[in-house]
């Protein structure tokens, strides 16, 4: 089995080996067919069939590479259709002549006992009926097989290459988006801690501890495509506790859960939504801001809903859309159409709902 796997791997990686294997298989099938047919007629021996088939295959190989690497790229793909027809007809007639010449002047002298009569090259060239009936169809058939197999595998490799590139592109984009999110989050959080330290608040050490837990999650648990929902919920709770240090008792935050079983979700998506609510909701409301969060995972559907109050004096700006834009890009890359992100609200509230079909 190991030897077979090594051989398969060698064939897959070596283009020349693939071509040799293809022609060997095709030659063997043609030879087997002729041996069976001629054995019934008692006309050719196996050695004679081997010689005649081998000589004929020379022309077929030349014709196949001419069509695949010259005729198709330089005439068909170049859209020189009239010229391509003329070249095709002329080339295949010459291939038929060449094949007949090799059979008559190379193969027959190897198996026939002289003296015997041979057609001249001029006679072979002018005998178009025999060429069209016997030689050209055989050459054309094997050329078509070669071209079909070649383009089938090239198409498969091209699709595989595109899928690989698309996957790599998605992974790079996701890493880039996370790279944009993490500094954005850290900037806001460090500003909060700085504000507490300026007034020598006793809450400073608590906020640093919460930040340490958050960084542990962000740096060491978010390297994969997905993380556990339970882990993300713990991250959100730490973040909320960290943010609540800024607002004393005037901020009201409710966090409800309806989770039947744990699941996996993209990392930091929910944090970005919560951060957005704090920054552009509670952060802009000098009164008594409220943030309501609900997480649900049941009946093969994950739902995250966050609602925050908005100050009457709040004015939206494009910078506030950065977090939501990152969220949507990541969701597009991971879920395609298997999710729904709804953004809305009223004059006094802002609401975001994320639904994902598990």
Taking only the tens of pLDDT, the chain with its 358 residues reads: 577 777 777 777 788 888 888 899 888 888 887 777 665 544 667 787 788 888 989 999 999 999 999 999 999 988 899 999 999 999 999 999 999 999 888 888 888 777 778 888 888 889 889 899 889 999 999 999 999 998 888 888 888 877 776 776 666 665 665 655 556 667 767 887 888 788 888 888 888 888 888 888 777 777 777 889 999 999 899 888 887 877 767 788 999 999 989 999 888 889 888 888 887 766 555 567 889 999 999 888 999 999 998 876 666 655 556 667 778 888 888 888 889 999 888 878 889 999 998 7
Q: What is the DSSP letter of 138?
A: H
Q: What length does the chain have?
A: 358
pTM over 0.75: no
Q: What would the two tokens of residue 299 be?
A: 């009946």
DSSP string, 191-228: HHHHHHHHTT-THHHHHHHHHHHHHHHHHHS-SSS-EE
From residue 175, alpha-carbon distances to 24, 69, 78, 128, 229 in Å are 48, 41, 41, 66, 20
Distance in angstroms (rounded) separating the CA atoms of residues 254 and 239? 13
Of all residues in the chain, what percent are helix, strand and coil, respectively (each to 5)? 70, 15, 20
Report how many helices (DSSP H) and strands (DSSP E) the chain contains, helices first. 12, 7
């Amino acid at each position: 089995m190991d030897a077979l796997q090594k051989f398969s791997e060698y064939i897959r990686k070596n283009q020349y080996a693939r071509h040799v294997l293809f022609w060997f298989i095709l030659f063997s099938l043609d030879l087997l067919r002729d041996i069976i047919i001629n054995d019934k007629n008692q006309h050719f021996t196996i050695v004679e069939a081997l010689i005649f088939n081998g000589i004929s295959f020379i022309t077929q190989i030349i014709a196949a590479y001419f069509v695949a690497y010259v005729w198709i790229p330089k005439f068909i793909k170049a859209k020189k259709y009239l010229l391509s027809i003329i070249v095709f007809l002329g080339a295949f007639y010459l291939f038929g002549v060449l094949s007949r010449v090799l059979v008559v002047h190379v193969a027959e002298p190897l198996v026939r006992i002289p003296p015997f009569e041979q057609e001249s090259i001029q006679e072979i060239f002018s005998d178009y009926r025999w060429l069209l009936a016997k030689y050209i169809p055989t050459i054309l058939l094997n050329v078509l097989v070669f071209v079909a197999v070649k383009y089938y595998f090239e198409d498969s490799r091209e699709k595989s290459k595109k899928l690989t590139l698309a996957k790599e592109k998605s992974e790079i984009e996701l890493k880039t988006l996370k790279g944009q999110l993490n500094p954005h989050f850290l900037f806001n959080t460090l500003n909060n801690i700085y504000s507490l330290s300026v007034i020598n608040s006793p809450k400073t050490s608590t906020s640093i501890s919460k930040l340490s837990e958050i960084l542990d999650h962000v740096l060491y648990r978010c390297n994969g495509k997905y993380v556990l929902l339970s882990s993300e919920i713990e991250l959100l709770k730490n973040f909320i506790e960290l943010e609540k240090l800024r607002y004393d008792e005037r901020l009201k935050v409710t966090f409800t859960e309806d989770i039947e079983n744990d699941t996996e979700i993209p990392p930091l998506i929910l944090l970005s939504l919560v951060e957005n609510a704090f920054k552009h909701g509670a952060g802009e409301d000098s009164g008594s801001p409220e943030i309501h969060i609900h997480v649900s995972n049941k009946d093969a559907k994950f739902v995250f809903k966050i609602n925050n109050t908005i100050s009457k004096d709040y004015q939206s700006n494009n910078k506030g859309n950065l977090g939501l834009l990152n969220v949507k890009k990541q969701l597009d890359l991971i879920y395609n159409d298997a999710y729904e992100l709804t953004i809305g609200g009223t004059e006094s509230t802002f609401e975001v709902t994320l639904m994902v079909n598990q």
